[in-house]
Structure 1
């Protein structure tokens, strides 16, 4: 069949929709933020394709795979196997690099083992994750970490007085008791009065069984010196606690370049092997473009079979706009957009066809100049006989679609319907929010705000920025532009790093579990529980699903997970609370016919009406709605928010509490925003500026550039070809800068 048929999709806010999606074409899904695009494309189509594919494997294999619940849909016909290219950061740890995650480093290792001189071994020895190749001092990390004892300990206190200045080592914690209960120390003696032997025992004892422990010492436990335990718990392993206590770890631990390998991760024997004077680490520290140039100069018949495919992989990375990266760049430092493009590269030369590629906003993090190349790559996937589904807001991607499906008309409960299907030209004539936004013409701000106060960033050097000085205007909207990798973020973060009045509002998730929701993050859940307690006469703690009010069956999780040995875990909605997380008696307590679970199911907009008399709650919720997040449910888990949504939730906190005389820095705040929602965000920035704050945006979106009072353009290109100040001033002047790639696209945008 030449179409994918969806019957009765009701996932999240989808309103029992049915539709046909043409195969072997590029279909773009549009609509306002929260309209249901992701619910249809990712939570329904992608999830069902992956679920059905997983079911074709043995139960043992299924158990190793991500589990997908069956989406709320009657049926999907003719659904191909899905390849999902999302914006989830590649993550990993400091042992994971662009080279290792893309498998390019395997070819590089092979090359050095074949033609590097002197010969030191086969390709595996060139791995910094291999004990035979790694630097013994830093274990292949490239850096060594030291524990600052003056930050970890208060020498003027005893163990009973909380001498260990770290949250999980408090006297009443299980880790703290591993020192208090040993019988080795006088727990009331101040650390500064310890003898040298006592201090060495306390800090550096290797794990050992106590010969005559007190009764309250755990029978099977070993005593371990504080430094060893801290290093093992928080430095050697990447775990949840490392994230949970990140702020305290950063305070206690200092990190520096490994003195023995100088950050190259490998031992001296491996580093002695060179090609044209470069060891393997020198090569992986080159930008992608410089690495291509290095390989093109190699003249080796016996290694040509390695060099040619290696060049093809690197050229693909460069073509897709990642020419400024290095193969040694650690994957946790990559943005969502960079991660997505690396995933996209993996599929470029795939011989597979008749798949459905599902791509989430490929324009994120990209300058308009780079979007043209992304469009070509998406087109090449389609030309191989695949079906390509793209969720997108950017006009430059939408106009290349063969078929467009628009969802709406608005967000949340006001969305979830198909409002348009057809071609781009037909969409332009439609009365949908997307059609209206695409028809709109744009001009630069006629009268930019003026200010006589300046923020001077002088002689900034970082990454590819070398001795650049720039001015930002105070109490106006400053927009920093330039292609991805040109040096925008480096300039701003280095230039403002020593200023105490700078607030960075980024897209990174907060350290949240599925038990934290919008209300807990905004610090108003307590107000809501107090309100319900006063109205119903029940204890406040009953209205928390994390304490007294939790459903006894699922313990406040809303679902029951059953482990089935060799089969995948089976998760089902709790039969007792029906997913609401609360005890039955709590659900029976209602205010105006609403239980606490009903409240958590309300959208922000609906909740504003319900809590109209509760000023603190309403103030926080109105600020959230002002950022365009009125469609979100109060009980939505924080770990389900996209990067753009997370950034706007953080922004709402500052709008609610009205701060002044601060410098706000936003990194690509239009991420995930429909063109019709951008005016809402602009209004939020205007409010900050009206309260005497300065707003600095690092941004690619052309609509947002037209709202700027002051523009700084960095370029002309990325990496070593960027890092120069091309323009600073009022927006109109940028249009005359011939070497600016931003100016080229901005001229097109305002003249259209």
Structure 2
């Protein structure tokens, strides 16, 4: 049984002896439905929920709490939410506020920004180019401010003619989860966006597409669980950097590897020393011998253009393109700059990256691979992205298409929907109310579809 089915059953209970219990349960179930979770099965394990679904359930749980004057911190609460459900989420946040609580929300969604009582913008850039407050005030002031967010709110969607598909790939007889023996054609050689309310079957359809056709899935899962992995190693330029230092200094390339002869003998090139504490969690401390720089003194004594091998780890990707004089290094790192990751440090552990950063790192690797005429599937690539970063992402997706790739994107962001060549909208509702194709044509034609929640959101955004 799904949550919305249970809500309908509970509303039929009229016994006055249990009226208070029924009222409280109805309010909770209605709140879950309002934030777009009515499609969840009551027996569904919580371990299978997405991050956005888990966060919304926690929000509803705290809504019924008698605690007041509590400070709540929400990190991207609209993640995975269709525009249709964002207004309901805002209502929940406002209910928590009105009970006497303080809410701090990290968010890029324009609707949530507009509903805020106070807005604080950090920037102006990412990484070392950010970290300071560039705006503080209300929405009306932000809408005219010369800041990245202010400019993003004023920007207009790009207009272009949809590209012509080169063919089609058919997904046939899909019956995964709530899909109902679904058959649909995905056009090739263009950017196709899968839309629909949360729980309508988008991820299930994408999984069927991957199962029936060879496709590369570019998701937000961690790139690596090894702390020694970094952009330097992931892009495959570590051998080129070591060769550059060896050629300039007349020594062995192994001397410039933190996993080989150049490693600090105390921390073995990790930069930290781990101390086990028996029944307690272990502690990591910065290695006193190398000061966290990972290399032995002999390796650090050699420099190239004033940089030691440890200094290379501290360079940002954008700085390294200019300062490391090797064409192979510049080409590989250029793809990271193209996907908006120029602010990452070369030696930054990949375990520190967000899901969105991991996904863009994988896209950069696809761009550098040089493989053409492939299929790429991306699940909500705009999660965690600022409006200006969405434009960068769209340019990257266009590059994949221009190389001959077929790109299928699951997305709620209306800018991405407008920029697509083809839209497949699932629904019309979540769970058992969805699982069928409501619309499959160009985004311009989608505006006229009355049954689609995505079409209604697009029309509302145009009128706004």
- Sort the TM-score into its range (normalised by shorter chain): over 0.9
Shift of 1:306: 6.5
The aligned counterpart of 2:273 is 560
Listed as ranges, the matches of 1:433-472 within 5 Å are: 433-442=148-157, 445-472=159-186
1:40-439 aligned at under 5 Å gives the runs 286-297=1-12, 309-439=24-154
Q: Does 1:577 align with 2:290?
A: yes
Taking only aligned residues, the RMSD between alpha carbons, in angstroms, comes to 2.3
Question: Which deviations, in whole Å up to 9, do the C-alpha atoms of 1:301-329 show, x marking residues without a partner?
Answer: 88777666554443332222111112322
Distance 1:447 1:369 in 2: 27
User: Are 1:488 and 2:219 an aligned pair?
Assistant: no
Match of 1:722 in 2: 434
Secondary structure of 1:365's partner? Answer: coil
Question: Counterpart of 1:678?
Answer: 390
Instruction: After superposition, give the CA deviation of every residue in 1:45-95 in whole Å (9 maximum; x if it has no partner).
Output: xxxxxxxxxxxxxxxxxxxxxxxxxxxxxxxxxxxxxxxxxxxxxxxxxxx
SS of alignment partner, residue 288 of structure 2: coil
Please, which moves more after superposition, 727-736 or 292-301?
Answer: 292-301
Q: CA deviation at 1:299?
A: 7.2
Contact 1:475–1:693, Cα closer than 8 Å, also in 2: yes
2:413 pairs with 1:701: yes
Post-superposition CA distance 1:18-55 (Å, at most 9, x none): xxxxxxxxxxxxxxxxxxxxxxxxxxxxxxxxxxxxxx
Give the alignment partner of residue 533 of structure 1, picking from 246, 268, 271. 246
Structure 1 CA distance for aligned equivalents of residues 409 and 94 of structure 2: 31
Provide structure 1 residue ranges, at least 5 long, that are not aligned to the other structure: 1-285
Query: Match for residue 17 of structure 1?
Result: none
Distance in 2 separating the partners of 1:664 and 1:383: 45
Q: Is the 8 A contact 1:442 1:750 kept in 2?
A: no
> What is residue 640 of structure 1 aligned with on the other side?
352
Whether the aligned pair in 2 keeps the contact of 1:441 and 1:750 (CA below 8 Å) is no
Q: Pick closer, same or farther for the CA change 1:719–1:522 going to 2, 3 Å.
A: same
Contact 2:122 2:130 in 1 (8 A): yes
User: 1: CA distance between counterparts of 2:360 and 2:315?
Assistant: 19
Deviation at 1:736, TM superposition (A): 1.1
The structural deviation recorded for 1:619 is 1.7
Q: Secondary structure at the match of 1:528?
A: helix
1:593 matched to 2:335? The reply is no
* TM-score, normalised relative to structure 1: 0.59
Quote the Cα distance in structure 2 between the aligned partners of 1:451 and 1:510: 32
Mean CA deviation greater in 729-738 or 322-331: 322-331
Which runs of 5 or more residues in structure 2 are unaligned?
A: none
Aligned residue number for residue 327 of structure 2 = 615
Distance 1:350 1:542, change over 3 A: farther
Pick 1 or 2: higher relative contact order, CA cutoff 8 A, min separation 6.
2
Aligned to 2:425, the other structure's residue is in SS state strand
Gap change, CA 1:617 and 1:328, over 3 Å in 2: farther
Paired with 1:543 and 1:301, the residues of 2 have a C-alpha distance of 77
Deviation of 1:509 after TM superposition, in Å, equals 1.2
Please give the alpha-carbon distance, in whole angstroms, between the structure 1 residues aligned to 2:402 and 2:461: 28
Aligned partners of 1:458 and 1:495 also within 8 Å = no
- For residue 654 of structure 1, report the CA deviation from its aligned partner: 0.9
Q: Distance in 2 between matches of 1:376 and 1:362?
A: 12
TM-score norm. by structure 2 comes to: 0.93
